[in-house]
Amino acid sequence: MMPVDFAPNRVPPLERACNFRDFGGYDTSDGRRVRWGRLYRSGSLTQLSDPDRSAIGSLGILAICDLRRLDERSRHPDPEFGPGVTHLFWDEPAEVSPLRGQTFAQSVGAAEARAAMIAMYAQMPVTLVTRLRGMFAGLLKGPGTPMILHCMVGKDRTGFAAALLLSALDVPHNVIVEDYVLTNQAVDLRAQLLGAEQAGLGIAVSAEPILALPREAQDAVLAADADYLGAGFAALEAEYGSVNAYLSAVIGVDDDARRQLARALLED
């Protein structure tokens, strides 16, 4: 099996991207492989340079699946990539984040922040249902791929959605986790949030309360921790018995739909 690392075609050479990478190239349990150049994951696309937008435009993108809240999209709108690109997004009540429920006082430590992240991921099988259904519908019914899947920094909502999609394609769970934790190498999220050297998102503390946390708590929030993703999968398995049962009962992706995804996204 190909090692989960930065293969030459996994991370395009972009100037101002936030966690942009191809999440193809992974072997499935039956020996097939996810096609390169079909599935991309990213953080915000707002800050991309003109050359970045041209480079992404050359990828033949058909759909941008935006998992962000309305307020995030309003502050940081996606750029246009041409008339042939469909933007998928959903206006629904904001997900209830344990982090946003905290006071963000200086007394909040790493343990409390990490527990909040685990609780947030455990809620994702419920809080992201509409967006997950929309993502799979975009893949199954059109516009199809190549697709960019993104949220604000490309770690949490994007991480869970990408993991669920790879699971539907029968990529082994340990490989899915390794793809998820690649965020820790792919991007300096603190620099992105603070807008270091004018290359990041430049989000003010008032807009992103985690930046008011002490450094050790920030580290816990900004990490791509395997236990976080594990909490989301454990929650859906506890309720439905398996990922495939959850996909079928809640997301509307049954065995036939997974076979359709495999035909479109896996190499022969």
- Give me the active site residues, please: 151
Question: Would you state the structure tokens that stand for residue 247, as one six-digit string?
Answer: 């996909």
CB-based contacts of 45-50 (< 8 A; 24+ apart in sequence): 45/18, 45/78, 45/79, 45/148, 45/150, 46/76, 46/77, 46/78, 46/79, 46/201, 47/16, 47/18, 47/199, 47/200, 47/201, 47/202, 48/14, 48/15, 48/16, 48/17, 48/79, 49/14, 49/15, 49/16
Structural tokens at position 244: 């495939």
- What is d(CA 132, CA 167) in angstroms, rounded to the nearest whole number? 13
Q: Is 71 exposed, middle or buried (0-12, 13-18, 19+ CB in 10 A)?
A: exposed
CA atoms within 13 A on the CB side of 143: 18
Q: Parallel, antiparallel, or unpaired for β 39-42 and 21-22?
A: antiparallel
Q: In whole angstroms, what is the distance from residue 257 CA to residue 132 CA?
A: 14
Residues in the chain: 268
Asked if 21 and 42 touch (Cβ cutoff 8 Å), the reply is yes
Confirm if 164 and 173 have CB atoms less than 8 A apart. no
